[in-house]
Amino acid sequence: MTVYPITDYDDAYANGAHIAGAGEFPPRWIQQAEGFRSTLKQAGRARTDLSCGPGDRHAVDLFLPEGAPKGLVVFVHGGYWKAFDKSVWSHLAAGALAHGFAVAMPSYTLCPDARIGDIAREIATAVSFCAGEIAGPIRLTGHSAGGHLVTRMISGEALLPEAVLTRIAGVVSISGVHDLRPIMRTEMNDTLHIDMDEARSQSPVLLEPLAAVPVTAWVGAKERPEFVRQNRALFDMWRGFETPMAIVEEAGRHHFDVIDGLADRDHPLCKAVVGAAG
C-alpha cells in the first residue's frame, strides 16, 4: 500500500511488482494479438502497418468490422511511454468491432528517442490519419500512458485539427497517468526526461479541456493507490468544466487485467468506449 506522503515513488508506480504472475501477461497478450490479427487478415478485415508519418514507428493497424463502420475507435497502448507497440494489443479490438466500429491501434516513438510532447503530437497525427480513412464519430481510449495520451488529445494546446476534434464523441482513459509531476521522481525519468515545463504543458489535470467531450476515467480498484488517485484527479479537475465526466473503479481488477473488458462486447468498459447504453 502506498503511504502518503509518498516516500518511494518507484514503488508507488511499480505495477508488476504487486501483481501475481505479472511476467505471464505480456507473452499471453502477444499470443492473443497474433492469433486475432491472423484471423482478421484471413477475413480481409485487417490493414496492418499503415504508414502515418516519416518514422519507423509512425504506423497504425486498422481493423474493420463486418459491414460499413459506424465510426472509429482509436486505442493507444501504454508502457510508460517507453515500451511496447501496437502489435501486442490487437485482440482488444474485438469488443468495439462487434459493435460495428473500425478500430485503429497506432505505434509511436518511445522514450528516450522522443519526448512525451513529441509522442502526443505523433498520436494526434495518427488519429488524424485514421479519421481520413474512416467516416463518422471518433472515440478515443488508451491504457496507462495511453490513457494520458488520449486525454491530452482533447486538452491544452490543440494538437488535432478542428475538423477532427469536432468528431471526437467520447474518451475513455483506462488507468491513465494524468499528472506527470510524480513521474519525475521515479528512476524511469532517466529514460523519460520529463522536466517541469513538460509536466506542466503535458499533464491533462493541469490543462483545460478543449471541448465538452464526454470522458470516462476508468481504473481497477485493485491497482496501485497512485493510479486510483490519478484517475480520481482527472475526474475531480475536469468536472469543473463543461466536460461530462464519469468515473469507474472496477472491482477486482488490477493494472494488467483492467483492459480485458475491451475484448468483450458486453463488458461495461467496452460499452463505455463505444457509447453503448446499458
CATH at residue 25: 3.40.50.1820
Residue 2 lies in a domain: no
Express as a percent the part of the chain with pLDDT over 70: 99
Residue 3 lies in a domain: no
CA dist list (Å): 85 to 24, 105, 243: 18, 9, 30
Which is nearest to 174 in space by CA: 76, 271, 275? 76
Residue 162 lies in a domain: yes
Give the count of beta carbons closer than 10 Å to the beta carbon of residue 67: 7
State yes or no: pLDDT of 98 exceeds 90: yes
pTM for the whole structure:
0.97
Domain containing residue 237: 9-274
Residue 212 lies in a domain: yes
State yes or no: pLDDT of 126 exceeds 80: yes
DSSP code of residue 203: -
Which is nearest to 75 in space by CA: 214, 262, 204? 262
Where does the pLDDT of residue 144 fall: very low under 50, low under 70, confident under 90, or very high at 90 and above?
very high
Residue 112 lies in a domain: yes
How many domains would you assign to the chain? 1
Residue 181 lies in a domain: yes
**CB distance 220 to 249 below 8 Å:** yes
In sign, the C-alpha dihedral spanning 39, 44, 49, 50 is: negative
pLDDT in tens, 165-199: 999 999 999 999 999 999 999 999 999 999 999 99
State yes or no: pLDDT of 207 exceeds 60: yes
Residue 4 lies in a domain: no
Residue 132 lies in a domain: yes
